[in-house]
Chain A
Amino acid sequence: MRRSVALVRLYCLSLLLVLGAVVAGALPQPTLAAVDAFEFETDEQQRRFRQMSDDFRCPMCQNTSLTGSSGGVAEDLRREIYLMIMDGKTDYEIEQFMLERYGDFIFYRPRLTLETVLLWFGPLLFLVLGGWIIFGIIRRAQPMTQEQVALNDEEQQRLKALLDNVKRD
């Protein structure tokens, strides 16, 4: 019984951790911006530029967004994004531009495709699986009721006979 309580606690704790990670991931992250002297006409253009520089991954460096990288190609890609924004291209068009040249690697957030389904929902699958196993264990660990423990008449007689035997010896 005590073991199942501990299991439930552990499971709830991991649920909380996952939830915390999701919330933390959704909060806006302050990023160190490489300094570019781009001039925008509207705040909206600037906001889109920042957003996209954060969302694209620098192809040369393994784990940096375009914003955080001072590498040659990142600089060029920021310039391309800037020019495309000023040219009135939509976010979708800019994403396609990047995808056509650098493939899925360029997206920091992997797109939801058939290949990435497991990546996106695998953890959820494990969470459900873990819950299922734990609740299975708990169900089986329920203490038996009085009725289940009670002996029927036949068993009572066998018990009596055994006890009689013991006494006689």
Chain B
Amino acid sequence: MSRLKLFIPVIVFMVMAVMLWRGLYLDPRTLPSVLIDKPLPDFELPRVEDEALISKADLPDEPFLLNVWGSYCLPCLQENPILMAAKEAGVVPIVGVNYKDKLNLARLWMDDNGSPFDFSIMDADGRLGINLGVYGAPETFIVDGNGVIRYKHIGVIDYKTWDEEIMPALAAVRAEATL
């Protein structure tokens, strides 16, 4: 028994080492969203395209992507081709949230790079962003047909995330809707 006691420090060390080792691979920048399975916040904001006021009722009534972007945001430019391809193939409706941007710059960006969005909501003062728990573009939500947030991806979407995270999550939300 007292022999076994000698191993206690080694065991404690190993448990801590394993936990700390795993800790090395956690990303402190991805905050778990507390808004998963919560309804989208209410809003009434102009559309970037024509400044018409829109609200929650104008959002698609099928699962869609809500993509937070800004003309100042380089990663948004990076993921734009993927979103454009998705739009052209008619994979999923994409609604933009133009986060803390200027109207003319946002329009210029869309003219230059193409707009993957059905339309973009103009959140100039960032208040919709706060209600969505956004802390920086790009962030992408999957919202179901009832306007409930089901998934959140923080940061740029590359082909790998699109194939391995976004599409499966979207498929799961869709499968549920057809039940």
Chain B interface residues (CB < 8 Å from chain A): 28-29, 31-35, 100, 125-127, 129-136
Contact = CB atoms under 8 A, between A and B. Distances in A.
A37 B34 CA distance: 31
Chain A CB within 10 A, most for which of B33, B34, B100, B125: B34
Interface residues of A, number: 15
Interface of A: 59-60, 62, 71-73, 76-77, 80, 99-103, 105
B34 A103 contact: yes
6 contacts: A59-B31, A72-B100, A73-B135, A76-B125, A103-B34, A103-B133
Contacts of B28: 62
Contacts of A71: 136
B41 to A, nearest CB: 9
* Interface residues of A, dominant DSSP: helix
A59 to B, nearest CB: 4
Given A73-B134, A73-B136, A101-B133, A62 B32 contact: no
Contacts of A80: 127, 130
Contact of B136 (A60, A102, A105): A60
Given A101-B133, A102-B133, A102-B135, A72 B126 contact: yes
Given A76-B125, A101-B34, A105-B31, 12 more contacts: A59-B31, A59-B133, A62-B29, A72-B100, A73-B134, A76-B100, A76-B130, A99-B34, A100-B34, A101-B130, A101-B131, A102-B133
A99 B35 CA distance: 10
A102 B31 CA distance: 8
Chain A CB within 10 A, most for which of B130, B131, B134: B130
Given A72-B126, A73-B126, A76-B125, A101 B100 contact: no
